[in-house]
A and B are shown apart, each in its own frame.
Chain A
């Protein structure tokens, strides 16, 4: 699976959009970009994933650049409950092990 690079930490004001970047310059054609988050030692929570098109669900939007070498997770109206470590994970679909390789992630702190 391709390696990802994320900023160590970011701050965001409550009610504003949080834009979390991820670099995955070595991504291959069959690899998807997944985002998970972990709120203070709770189990990681799936947020969204995509291949090459932008995706949106009830939690967030995922913008993937045309060359697929980077992506941005957007939380449109961040709340205090969105304070968490956000992980960008690149992996291929299927295979014999669905292991998720978590890096260090980005600690997003939403401030009142």
Chain B
């Protein structure tokens, strides 16, 4: 079946350093979503990418969708302690819309103050 892998599984960075997580799908994606889950919390929607090669920015976060629509990345510039959590990419595939998410394996980010 369809698989969505993320690397790395864990990332420890000093506060102020940059962070990147990569998402790879075994199949071509129609679009991709990113979620953040804080420790002890629930996933929170960050963004959706739809177009091949699309790049979107949210303050210090930069999201990219690959040209072949089989991979995506999330880059955080100058990490802060508030960035701690697990970042998931997700393939929203369904015949009806985006209500069936296949989540990636996630990257857990910890910040060393």
Task: Tell me if chain B binds chain A.
Answer: no
Give B residues with C-beta under 8 Å from A.
none
